[in-house]
Amino acid sequence: MAGNNGDIRFITSSCSSIKLAPFLFSSVQQYSLLDFSNLSLSYQAGTFTTRESLNTFVSSINSSLLSLSSLNLDNIKNLLLESHFFRTKDEKKERVFVQGFICEGANALPTYILEDIIRQKYRKFVDIRCLNDFIHDSVNGWYTEHGFSASISNLEVVSDGIVKIKVSEAKVNDITLCFLDKENGNPITGNTRHDIIVRHISTKKGQVYNLIKAQNDVETVWDLGIMKHVSIVPQPGDDGNIDLRMNLVEDNSFSFTHKYQIPFHDMFSIRGFLLGLFAGFAYFDGNLFGRNQKLNVIWKRNKYYPTFGINWTDPWIGGDKNATSRSIVVDYKRALENLVFGNQLDDTKVHIHRFITGLVFSRPFSPKWRGTAGLNYKRAGACDDTGSLLMEDSYCNPLTATGHTHDEMLLAKVEILYSHFGNRESSALGFNMEQGLPVMPNWLCFNRIYMCVRKSILLGPANLQLHLFGGHVVGSFPPHEAFAIGGTESVRGYKDGAVGSGRSYMVGSGELSFPMFGPVKSFFLFADYGSDLGSGSMVHGNPAGARYKPGRGYGYGVGVLVNTPFLPFILEFATNDQHRKAFNFRFT
């Protein structure tokens, strides 16, 4: 047995001499080389001895060292029990003085896991079995918790207390796509291009297989809206790696609907026939040319005027690494304008006809942030029920900013969106800015900003939702595009636009909902407040002042959210600050 820095180890089958370290004595401060030729403890290296043999060996040292009365024999026995390779048969423990670690193959394992192991076990005597369990629990536990297909394949103590950890990580060897027939499940040739699917898969060749990431890939491909079934099947590959097969069942990506209505009861009256005639169709293709591009075409004719729209979207421009999307819009429609120009004196209705075309780009900056930029051309004007153009309402307020039958504008648009969803709270932020570019002399020039903030917090079983909206316009803009306040989307208890319409506005609302049972999903209390911030008279023509809108108001009430086999709906009862009551019904 020999010692080094206070460490006593058995290195041969018997001991004839021993070198004692100074901490074994209470007063002797130098090393002493003592002869123990007759006090050998014979054993084979790596075998077991008994505690009785150890006690006998220590007692023999005591009888031979009567002159060294200061020798602490308990320290000798404890030190022997703490030695590097010494084991007793009754305890069957093997201990090691850890002096370093070697880790191989842990490419996905973060360094802080190994640093934690080193911090707790480095330069300490530890039981090898406990050390083995501790390392396995730390390393394998992290891999399992984070969904990695990896584990420790070998752990051993090499020379001089060095612990060697070998990790086996199953890497992705290959990824194949398999399109299946929706009827019998047999492999078929899919309509979707393979590269369109692969670019949405975050799992790549050469990466360590991760079950959580694979599940997210399934959801991402499913969210494309062109698949009826998506699944990933891992299969054993070469050298312990994994081959992935993604099974895909394509859904019907296109649809065509048409509708018409002929007024037989009024067919002998030309005017009544034209007013009642209705026809239209809608075509949608969600996987145009197998590239996941969306094409939506709508046309309908109602009364005297047609409405049509074409919207084409490429959700990921080919070759772009930032997942940038682009959209082209061509849209023409007429809609009843009640928000700003409602409550006409002669009960006539004001309709706003708009023609819009533009190009918009959008891309994510991070998982929580997304940006949009685009350019739109807009031409808008007003008309009555029969389609005749109007320049003023019944209060003699102008309906356009230029004084002509229509306004034209070229708008540069920038939008930034933020969203965060947590276990107990979520939040969202939106900022939108439009700038009118006076490319032509009569085109409008204005700047409009809009911002919204939403926050949702769980308070026990209840859910508190807070909303704040605001906006402002500078420059010459169409009166019908003023910020309208009032209605189910702003201040409940008021009719749409009844609070006011201005260049500026602010609306805040709070809603506290409680879970219910049966078809009633939740019951909620709400309170809303809105104001035009004194800007109603700044709108061209002052349509809010002509209609005696208060400019600010609040409402409060209760509501329920009901699930149905078709669509969930909300039923609300609200009271405003003018003590008027209203029931609201809407689908969600």
Say if residue 427's pLDDT is above 90: yes
What spatial distance separates the first Cα and last Cα of the chain, rounded to whole Å? 82
State phi, psi for 35 to the nearest 5 degrees. Answer: -95, 120
**172-250 in CATH: which number?**
3.10.20.310
Q: What does the pLDDT read at residue 336?
A: 87
Average pLDDT in the chain: 83
Residues of the chain with CATH 2.40.160.50: 316-587
**Tens-place pLDDT, residues 334-371:** 888 889 998 888 878 899 999 999 999 999 999 899 99
Element (H, E) at 429: strand 425-436
For residue 398, give the amino acid letter: P
With a CB cutoff of 8 Å and minimum separation 6, the contacts of 286 are 225, 226, 253, 254, 292, 294
- Cα(388)–Cα(398) distance, integer angstroms: 15
Mean of pLDDT values over 138-142: 92
| Length of the chain counted residue by residue | 588
Q: Tokens at residue 69, please?
A: 């009365």
- Listed residue (538, 529, 541, 520) closest to 577, CA to CA: 529
Question: CA–CA separation, 87 vs 84, rounded Å?
Answer: 9
- Give the amino acid at 461: P
Section 444-470 average pLDDT:
96
**Paired tokens of 190:** 């899919």
Q: Which part of the chain has CATH 3.10.20.310?
A: 96-169, 172-250
Question: Is residue 71's pLDDT more than 60?
Answer: no
Residue with tokens 């075409």: 297
Of 383, 377, 369, give the one whose Cα is nearest residue 303.
Answer: 383
457, 529, 549, 582 from 556: Cα distances, Å: 20, 9, 19, 10
What is the number of alpha carbons within 13 Å of residue 481 lying toward its C-beta? 24
DSSP alpha helix (H) spans, 83-167: 111-121, 128-145
**Mean pLDDT calculated for residue range 314-322:** 90
Of 161, 108, 107, 165, nearest to 134 (Cα)?
A: 165
The residue type of 467 is H
Tell me the C-alpha distance between 549 and 490, whole Å. 15
> What is the CATH number assigned to the segment(s) 316-587?
2.40.160.50
The CA-based angle 538-539-545, given to 5 degrees, is: 85
Query: d(Cα 508, Cα 556) in Å, to the nearest integer?
Result: 12
| Banded pLDDT at 52 (limits 50, 70, 90) | low
Residue 277 has pLDDT above 90, yes or no: no
Give the DSSP letter string of 352-372.
EEEEEEEEEEEEESSSSEEEE
Which superfamily does CATH assign the domain made up of 96-169 to? membrane protein fhac (3.10.20.310)
Residues 348, 207: Cα–Cα separation, whole Å: 67
Q: Select from 55, 40, 51, 33 the least CA-distant residue to 10.
A: 40
- Between 337 and 446, name the one with better pLDDT: 446
